[in-house]
A and B are shown apart, each in its own frame.
Chain A
Amino acid sequence: MNAPGGGPARGMGAALRQDSALKHATGEARFLDDLPEPPGLLHAALALSPIAHGRLLALDPGPALALPGVVAVLRPGDIPGRNDIAAAGSNEPLLAEGMVLHAGQPLAIVVGATRDAALAGAAALRPEIAPLLAILSLEEAIAREAWVLPPQEIRRGDAAAALAAAPHRCHGEFRVGGQEHFYLEGQIALALPGEDGEMTIQSSTQHPTEVQHIAARVLGCPFNRITVATRRMGGGFGGKESNASWVAAAAALAARATGRPVKLRLPRKADMAATGKRHPFLYRWQAGFAEDGRILALEAVLAADAGHSLDLTAGVIFRAITHALGCCDVPDVALRALACRTNTVSNTAFRGFGGPQGALLIEDVVHRVAAARGLPPEDVRARNFAGGGNGAETPYGQALEGALIRRVWAEARRDAGWDEKRREIAAFNAAHPTLRRGLGSMVLAFGISFGQMHMNQAGALVHVYTDGSIRLNHGGTEMGQGLFIKVAQVVASVFGVDVGRIAVSATSTAEVPNTSPTAASTGSDLNGWAAHAAASAIRARMAAVAAAEWGVPVEAVAFAEGQVTAGGNRAMEFGALAQLAYMQRVSLSATGFYRTPDIHWDRATMRGEPFFYFSYGAAVAEVAVDLLTGEHRCLAAHLVQDCGRSLNPAVDLGQVEGAFVQGLGWLTCEELWWDAAGRLRTLGPSTYKIPGSREVPPVLRVRLLEGAPARSETIFRSKAVGEPPLLLATAVWNALKDAIGTDHLDAPATPERVLRAIRGG
């Protein structure tokens, strides 16, 4: 493997390819469903509720059991442990018991000799459900004060008084839809029962430890009976955090009940009906501002549609309100986040985890203030940037880096040729009878760390073998984001060896226990440090062996280019030193552990410094809109993303581009549509439209911010990249508003919503 630009591929900062790239292309990379099937394998399928809310009166297993090949029908009474799959709270049933709370809720697990038999059995069940009135909208939930947890508030100053005193006031109400993850590989798990109550689970999960915990809870056994492994996922995006756990628990339950291995692979429609999505939000706010667009006060309610249960909603609304001012400063604020309970699927983590929804609030405020004052929104946003003459502290008490905010914006604006583009667009719009072009922007500040403080920890396990080959295992999971290659680069750098010497093994609860999910963009930050610690421990022992062998001080021993050296005349191949250490009975295996320092949060006061650092970025997008039909297209995007000192620019660039296009989908073409009975009707790619290649702007220029190493002690001064750039797509939403000449556009801005906005609806 060679780094672009020549030179040997090795450690940090090299643009190394995703470790499985060629295997993906040849079809050799094995996803869970590609693994050879164990003898005696049974298949499971889920029977889902057709009703949004009701009392489950009866569920006769007979019709399924009468079919050939159906082995078992499992209902709540068949659960040996607890019927509870809650990730954070409690009482979220795996299988509906008594009450049905959403259409698509699992009611029973049907086990069959073949997958078709199981699916046919599930389809044959006819649950008796007495319908109850369902809450299907955020408005209804707010009116009935139906929450999954109490409202969260962040306040600073006296927003009401500042509003009253402000020279100008305006208000707004808008909404943004949810988003289906649409990982290409659907949810899947394979459970193998073993002796002494053991259960080995292969799961396509971002959180093997949670799979372990939930499966143990459902089976009623200690955690040490359950081993969970994940080699790779065909996409996750947050959708395989809590949702993968119950899918795996269902497979484990079926395996326990039958004593045979069981695979559960959800068909796409069942996957989309039964698993949570990004939270839709409804926003209501009022702001007070000055002549020059300086926003003085903001009162806002951000209402998140949690669906029927808590799942990870507490974290989502925490991130939404901590990101609701984006990169801006507002002196007096009162932000209230509602976690609304509706009879829909329980919404969950999705790349950005409420951050993208939070950031839309300040963008809407900025645009309406700008419209009210007749100013460009970019000027109003810049007038309110944190730092400079404005406050640098977020309302919850953590400082933003105003200089970086201004720098990313200046660079994106320059890259896009903003002023010239403005003139070009004005000329086009004056001349064309039916098309309008528009220009929009976004500047983001995204806090990195899990909102749950205890989750900011990671472990790793490194072995050096006596031939000098290295095996690396850590708690992070690979879902395509390039985590394995990045962490391998860290370890290669510690040992001074080529990354090709390192084999990364499947993530497993048996190798590294008690792990956090690979989520919140923290994968390489946490696991990189943990692996660094493990590798450094081994290196120190090896250095001591070399120092003794050569009679030099340990500090003189260096590891580089596959060699261990001391001064100019002592050298040994890395593998030779490993062999020497073994002969001298020195351990060549070590665990590593890391906990993010310096972060804290006080839930009572909603203040603290919950993020290790912030990541920044800016974007300019150009769009065209057809005034007659609402059709639109992004023509160009210029993105600048702060990755600190990038661990791997090729991987990071891919994350920025992919996140931008995913955000573009969320805000434009991806629409979840429920019928009047509360059934989701966009249950497959034929009706739910994620971006295709033509949605990617023909001009897409992406740059990683240069010369901006992280100020915090991050791994090699890099910064996380998974989620923040998704927010950059907000520039497209803003550009659409610019093209139409409106300050009100609900998202997703489908052609229908755009046409409505054009027609003043």
Chain B
Amino acid sequence: MKAIRGVLLTCDSAVKQILLTINEREGNSFIIEDLDDHHLVIKADEEYRVRKELEAELEKNTYSLEG
């Protein structure tokens, strides 16, 4: 039995795929365990950075009238 410290992320599957991609791009830098479609465990001290990365990624997919 072992216990691993981390942060449980609950998200929709689209966001999860983006997170997986970012993780892969960075050479598995932050994901500890891929639990299921909606849950991931990541390293606790990476959370803030991951959120920033995700936001930047999501921002690429939005378009506004005033470009």
Partners in one complex: no
